[in-house]
Amino acid sequence: MTVLATVSAEWLTLRGEADARARSRTLVDELAHRLGDGPLIVHDLGSGAGAMMRWLAPQLRAPQRWVLHDADPQILGTRDPSPVLDGQGQVVGSQPSIEQLDDLGRDAFHGGSAVVASALLDVITENEARLIVNACVSAGTPALFSLSVSGQVLLDPGYQADEHFGAAFNDHQRRVADGRRLLGPDAVRVVARMFATAGWSVRELDTPWRLGPDESTLSAEWLAGWVGAAVEQRPELDSAADRYLALRRTQLAARSLSVTVGHRDVIAWPQ
């Protein structure tokens, strides 16, 4: 059985607003353009607590039913029970589905209208990505995958240490965890190539978080995770990490630090 990195409901809540601002609405227009009048069945992979449904469903006018796929029953259990409305004000139906992506069958999306995900592709393996692409191609369902980490991070003011932590963090994202090699910052390139090889059209856009002084709580949490992962990957960075984090926290408190965390969104559809 696959062992997954767990994600906390608190972290998903904390990042929710920045995610909603960052995801590409241009690519939503592309998706909407390819969907019929409905009723739509939308598969959300690695749905977590359902943030993608809450963000995307109101932007689609057609009646919808969502299937929220996640391997972690606990995170699925933290879904907000309040209703989600589609673009015409009708309540959107949803059902959870507890499953590992490495069990995804080729016919998993047959009868579906679209496959989506947010903040998923960088934490899966190439094999899982292939299963997703194969199932999309088999069903002919357009796919919109938002917010995969691109590996680009910009801190202002910037220091040379940023590059050392950034390189180690990116290696950590590509690590082998419990026998699974994660795609990390290569995810969108890999998935885009798989769709293109299948003859599908693909469009990608950069969708970074741009965190200013008003998002210091998220920035601080992100920074701690970024540096922590870098040190786990390259323990020799440990001696510099405390001083670096203290400096960055002082700058956050003084509202003098801004952080740009690179993400990329990708949409694919049959030609």
Ligand X SMILES: C[S@@+](CC[C@H](N)C(=O)[O-])C[C@H]1O[C@@H](n2cnc3c(N)ncnc32)[C@H](O)[C@@H]1O
Residues that bind ligand X (CB under 6 A): 2, 4, 7, 12, 19, 46-48, 51-52, 70-72, 75, 100-101, 118-120, 123-124, 128
Q: Which is nearer to ligand X, 149 or 192 (CB)?
A: 149
Query: Which residue type, as a one-letter code, is found at position 126?
Result: E
Least distance CB 211 / ligand X (angstroms): 17
Least distance CB 262 / ligand X (angstroms): 16
What span, in angstroms and rounded, lies between the C-alpha atoms of 251 and 245? Answer: 10
Least distance CB 202 / ligand X (angstroms): 21
Q: Which is nearer to ligand X, 131 or 237 (CB)?
A: 131
What span, in angstroms and rounded, lies between the C-alpha atoms of 267 and 271? Answer: 12
If 0-12 CB within 10 Å is exposed, 13-18 middle and 19+ buried, where does residue 54 land? middle
Least distance CB 197 / ligand X (angstroms): 22
Q: Which is nearer to ligand X, 62 or 131 (CB)?
A: 131
Which residues, other chains included, contact 74 with Cβ-Cβ below 8 Å and sequence gap of 6+? Answer: none
Q: Which is nearer to ligand X, 7 or 237 (CB)?
A: 7
Give the other-Cβ count within 10 Å of 48's Cβ: 23
Least distance CB 3 / ligand X (angstroms): 10
CA angle, residues 170, 68, 169, in degrees to nearest 5: 5
177-208 CB burial, b ≥16 within 10 A, e <16: eeebebbbbbbbebbbebbeebebebebeebb
Instruction: Estimate to the nearest angstrom the gap between the alpha carbon of 194 and the chain centroid.
Output: 18
Q: Which is nearer to ligand X, 46 or 142 (CB)?
A: 46
Least distance CB 19 / ligand X (angstroms): 6
Q: Which is nearer to ligand X, 71 or 155 (CB)?
A: 71
